A = this chain, B = another copy of it.
């Protein structure tokens, strides 16, 4: 056996990523195992180590893809706006993404590299692209501040939304809890934006 060549390395890589993402979405991060992935794509465990250096490598790729999906989601819903309402809309798209992709989104924080290991460049770059994307949205508000300040505001906005969404992800996803968290996101963004604009001028 061996030497099948039914799929290119690139195809196998994609199959692994998608199979792994399906598992995480359906059963949660704690259910993600190499043997399960291999079985799902019809290969053996060894083949996964042909295209990824190990589980951490695979996981970091999935995490990078999740940040990318989220960013694209946010950018698609964007219109030319000038008001705080546009930021609130963005926040609600972010919120919906975390609800619809609870497993993948939770994994962003459930998985942490062992102490000492730093996140790979491609992962950091993907997250930075999200920050930049949000900073560009804030720029349209025409608030009098530097690009560095815009960047920091985008970071804080993202981090704080993340905290509220996390609290929901931990709880049971009942309709009541979701509505409550959604109200918190709206409250958070409104206070934050009002306080920010108020403080600058």
Q: Mark A160-201, 1 if CB is under 8 A from B, else 0.
A: 111110110010100000000001100110111111101100
Chain B residues lying within 8 Å of A159, measured Cβ to Cβ, are: 160, 163-164, 166-167, 184
Give the A interface residue count (CB, 8 A): 42
**Contact among B156, B161, B172, B198 with A118 in the assembled complex (CB-CB below 8 Å):** B172
For A163, the closest partner residue in chain B by CB is: B163
**Do A114 and B28 contact each other (CB < 8 Å), given the known contacts A191-B196, A194-B195, A198-B195?**
yes
What is the CA–CA distance of A115 and B173 in the complex, to the nearest angstrom?
A: 11
Looking at A5-13, A104-112, A136-144, the stretch in contact with chain B turns out to be A104-112
**Contact among B27, B30, B162, B172 with A112 in the assembled complex (CB-CB below 8 Å):** B30
For A192, the closest partner residue in chain B by CB is: B191
**Do A198 and B188 contact each other (CB < 8 Å), given the known contacts A112-B29, A163-B166?**
no
Query: A152 contacts the other chain (Cβ, under 8 Å)?
Result: yes
